[in-house]
């Protein structure tokens, strides 16, 4: 579900490896049906997928063995209608999304069902309808929301591995989510709040770099308080990995520049609320959350500068 960078990339990889992939393509249906998917790789061969089994509405798709949700966390309301037609009695769901609360929301709305979460460590950019550029990494971490589903996790991981996507099954999905948040919270947030910086510019600016590390330390403290500590040296490793990404623009920045809503609550709001409930002070996170929430609201306020 979803033909943004994540859905197109992993869907195309799975299709190429022989999976029977059915795509929900809302805005891009016409172009993708005519031209297929075009995946540009950096370190391996680029490839096309054509023809594509694409649909505009989930009602036309039939039930699936596995539903991969690659819509933004901001699309939850739409999901409520989109998801049910795809669900047979045994259908499992993978939330390939950023932020916190996605699996909880799915588990509440669709109980007694295997809900997995996937965390993407990749630099994927949608460069046009059906076109995705992968400029680094590509790994997925996969975990189960309810903490069981061991066989299913192995099966899904095997599908990704067969599609040449490195995929690790993690014991704690929540711990993996915090590890990824330690990247998304600073880089996605600063890229938007600082007026459109790519990650290279953030790292080159001494004050933005200091802010990045400060935010990561706050996330590390919250994760540790939840007994899900970040691995030793994680912050240094993320900074080093990011330095190899060049002028990469996080997805929130691309969304913001394109006038789309950003995942304010999933990436910043929910982690902040968990920090507050756990009694951990996160002043930088509160600052960036407050600013992004206002920026997002104002960007989606038609009259422009001031609604007052």
Contact with a second copy (CB under 8 A): which of 190, 216, 230, 275?
Answer: 190
Of the pair 204, 277, the CB lying nearest a second copy is at 204
Size (the chain), residues: 308
Contact call for residue 96 and a second copy (CB under 8 A):
no
Contact with a second copy (CB under 8 A): which of 41, 104, 161, 205?
Answer: 205
Query: Which region holds residue 269: left if phi is over 0, alpha if psi is between -120 and 50, else beta?
Result: alpha
* Pick from 107, 118, 172, 158: nearest CA to 142: 118
Contact call for residue 244 and a second copy (CB under 8 A):
no
Contact call for residue 290 and a second copy (CB under 8 A):
yes
Stretch that binds a second copy, among 17-25, 40-48, 130-138, 197-205 (CB under 8 A): 197-205
Q: What residues between 266 and 285 interact with a second copy by CB under 8 A? A: 283-284
Of the pair 157, 190, the CB lying nearest a second copy is at 190
C-alpha to C-alpha distance for 31 and 140, rounded to whole angstroms: 28
**Residues touching a second copy, count (CB under 8 A):** 35
Query: Helix, strand, or coil here: 67?
Result: strand
What are 298's two structure tokens? 């104002």
Q: Is 180 a catalytic residue?
A: yes
> Cβ 205 to a second copy, closest distance in Å?
6
Q: With helix as H, strand as E and coil as C, how does 73-115 read?
A: HHHHHHHHHHCHHHEEEEEEEEEECCCCCHHHHHHHHCCCCCE
C-alpha to C-alpha distance for 97 and 70, rounded to whole angstroms: 6
H or E stretch covering 48 = strand 47-49
E-assigned strand segments in 102-194: 115-128, 131-144, 167-169
Of the pair 103, 296, the CB lying nearest a second copy is at 296
> Cβ 202 to a second copy, closest distance in Å?
8
Contact call for residue 158 and a second copy (CB under 8 A):
no
Contact call for residue 307 and a second copy (CB under 8 A):
yes
Q: Could you list the active site residues?
A: 180
Summarize as ranges the residues that interact with a second copy (CB under 8 A).
190, 193-198, 200-201, 204-205, 207-208, 210-211, 214, 247, 257, 283-284, 286-291, 293-295, 298-299, 305-308
């Amino acid at each position: 579900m979803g033909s943004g960078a994540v859905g197109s990339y992993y869907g195309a990889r799975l299709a190429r490896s022989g999976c029977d992939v059915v795509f929900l393509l809302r805005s891009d249906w016409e172009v993708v049906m005519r031209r297929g998917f075009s995946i540009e790789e950096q370190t391996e061969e680029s490839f096309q997928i054509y023809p594509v089994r694409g649909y505009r509405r989930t009602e036309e798709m039939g039930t699936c063995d596995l539903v991969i949700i690659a819509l933004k966390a901001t699309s939850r309301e739409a999901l409520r209608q989109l998801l049910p037609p795809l669900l047979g009695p045994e259908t499992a769901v993978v939330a390939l999304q950023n932020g916190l609360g996605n699996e909880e929301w799915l588990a509440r709305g669709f109980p007694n069902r295997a809900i997995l979460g996937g965390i993407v460590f990749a630099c994927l950019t949608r460069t046009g309808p059906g076109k995705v550029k992968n400029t680094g990494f590509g790994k997925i971490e996969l975990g189960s929301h309810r903490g069981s589903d061991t066989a299913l996790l192995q099966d899904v991981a095997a599908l990704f591995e067969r599609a040449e996507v490195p995929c690790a099954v993690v014991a704690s999905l929540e711990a993996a989510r915090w590890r990824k948040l330690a990247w998304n919270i600073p880089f996605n947030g600063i890229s938007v709040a600082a007026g459109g910086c790519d990650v290279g510019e953030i790292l080159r600016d001494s004050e933005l770099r200091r802010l990045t590390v400060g935010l990561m330390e706050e996330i590390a403290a919250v994760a540790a308080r939840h007994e899900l500590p970040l691995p030793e040296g994680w912050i240094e490793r993320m900074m080093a990995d990011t330095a190899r990404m060049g002028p990469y623009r996080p997805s929130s920045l691309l969304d913001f520049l394109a006038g789309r809503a950003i995942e304010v609550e999933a990436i910043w709001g929910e982690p902040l609320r968990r920090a507050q409930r756990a009694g951990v002070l996160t002043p930088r996170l509160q600052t960036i959350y407050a600013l992004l929430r206002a920026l997002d609201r104002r960007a989606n306020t038609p009259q422009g500068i001031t609604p007052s």
